[in-house]
Amino acid sequence: MIKENISLKPYCTYKTGGEAEYFASPTTNEELVSALKFASEKKMPVTALGSGSNVLISDDGVKGLVLVLSELNDKIEINDEKVYAGAGVILDKLVRTTVENSLGGMECMSGIPGTVGGAVRMNAGAFGTEIKDIAGMVYAVDLKSLAEKKLKNEECEFGYRKADGLESMIVTGTEFMLKKNDFELLKSKRDDIIKNRNIKQPLNFPSCGSVFKRPEGNYAGALIEEAGLKGFSVGNVQISDKHANFIVKTGQATSADIHKLISLIKEKVQEKTGYILEEEVRYIGF
Ligand SMILES: Cc1cc2nc3c(=O)[nH]c(=O)nc-3n(C[C@H](O)[C@H](O)[C@H](O)COP(=O)(O)OP(=O)(O)OC[C@H]3O[C@@H](n4cnc5c(N)ncnc54)[C@H](O)[C@@H]3O)c2cc1C
């Protein structure tokens, strides 16, 4: 079950990065705990990946055990207005299923790539709804004790694109608290959001979505435009001319190339506008 020296390129949306020293893709909590025991015995670090849609993986690879969790507990269970989804469920599949069952609360998250586990860990959100608004119980395995845990919403310490209470946890599943609503209304909201994403985001190129968090009182994309960088590229890495907070890969490029452009944006934006941009993208193995 545990493999060595596996390329991580297929496991992130940028399709860049080096190898995992050790690699596992557990499908059940038992497999997960057994992989974690292996890492704990060897005293090695553990890195979690869902769909890798919000990460930049070092070209030098990642030491220790990398867990790809996109197949972990891949099931959805609907019980009236409560919906349980395993960590490996694709978030957008979950949103579609809730809409099809006339359950409202998740429709604004239509089209966000990635898994339920990654979305919970990131407190993902769009159009005014975040995971924290709808998460009930979060199921996890503690990286230190290897015990299975149930965390209440407030114990996850959700914040803007973070969940500090889950810092040393692997999310295995989450219960969402939704509300019955009109199917046609939910469906048209979902369709509009997906249409809007297609118009406003450069979805035909690899990216990690928004590279930077929204700074207080402004927008990262607007600041990048103000710094005159929209459309700017170095080699095959470009600040999208469609959405300046997206960095897209237009051909062969490495994580180091992408990282270089991120650093340049931070430097120029601070110089031109005074704002210090903070990354939303998570660096892995850097
Ligand atoms: C085109 C595009 C559009 C996007 N639009 C949005 C948007 O509108 N809103 C938004 O919030 N995000 C957006 N994103 C970013 C990304 O889709 C979200 O952050 C998503 O929730 C990440 O899920 P993932 O499974 O890919 O996580 P990954 O990118 O694999 O991981 C993200 C973080 O979560 C951790 N993690 C992953 N799985 C687990 C787990 N089971 N347990 C514990 N930790 C875990 C990782 O270690 C990492 O720190 C977009 C990305 C792209 C490419």
Residue 109 pLDDT level (bands cut at 50, 70, 90): very high
- C-alpha–C-alpha distance, residues 116 and 85, integer Å: 7
Cα atoms in the Cβ-side hemisphere of radius 13 Å centred on 267: 6
Q: Supply the pLDDT for residue 167.
A: 96
Banded model confidence at residue 86, pLDDT cuts 50, 70, 90: very high
Q: What is the pTM of this model?
A: 0.97
Q: Using CA of residue 89, residue 93, residue 99, residue 105, what is the dihedral sign?
A: positive
| 280 catalytic per annotation | yes
Over residues 205-233, the mean pLDDT reads: 97
The tokens describing 179, both together, are 């509300």
Tokens, residue 36: 């974690």
For ligand 1, pick from 31, 94, 112, 280 the residue to mutate: most ligand atoms within 8 Å of CB: 112
Residue 107 is predicted with a pLDDT of: 98
pLDDT tens, residue by residue, 148-192: 999 999 999 999 999 999 999 999 999 999 999 999 999 999 999
- pLDDT (0 to 100) of residue 268: 98
pLDDT class of 219 with cuts at 50, 70, 90:
very high
Q: Mean pLDDT over all residues of the chain?
A: 98
**pLDDT of the residue at 166:** 98
Report the pLDDT value the prediction gives residue 259, as an integer from 0 to 100: 98
- Residue nearest to ligand 1 atom 4, measured at CA: 209
The span from the CA of 240 to the CA of 229, in Å, is: 9
pLDDT for 78: 98
Residue 161 annotated as catalytic: yes
Does the CB atom of residue 48 touch ligand 1 within 6 A? yes
The predicted pLDDT at position 231 comes to 97
Q: Which of 53, 210, 240, 255 is catalytic?
A: 210
pLDDT-derived band at 140, boundaries 50, 70, 90: very high
User: Region 80-96: what's the mean pLDDT?
Assistant: 98
> Could you tell me the distance, in angstroms and rounded to a whole number, from the CA of residue 281 to the centre of ligand 1?
9
The reported pLDDT for the residue numbered 100 is 98
Cβ-contact 16, 249 below 8 angstroms:
yes
The pLDDT value recorded for residue 79 is: 98
Burial label for 136, CB within 10 Å (0-12, 13-18, 19+), is middle
Alpha-carbon gap, residue 268 to 276, rounded angstroms: 10
58 Cβ below 6 A of ligand 1: no
- With a 6 Å cutoff on the Cβ, whether 49 touches ligand 1 is yes
CB 88 within 8 A of CB 70: yes
Exposure of 262 in the CB half-sphere (CA atoms within 13 A) = 25
User: If pLDDT is split at 50, 70 and 90, which confidence band does 213 have?
Assistant: very high
* CB of 141 sitting under 6 A from ligand 1: no
> What local confidence, expressed as pLDDT, does residue 256 receive?
98
Q: Which residues pair with 23 in a beta bridge?
A: 3, 66
197 is catalytic: no
Using one digit for the tens of pLDDT, what is the confidence trace for 221-273?
Answer: 999 999 999 999 999 999 999 999 999 999 999 999 999 999 999 999 999 99
Average the pLDDT over 15-38 and give the result.
98
108 Cβ inside 6 Å of ligand 1: no
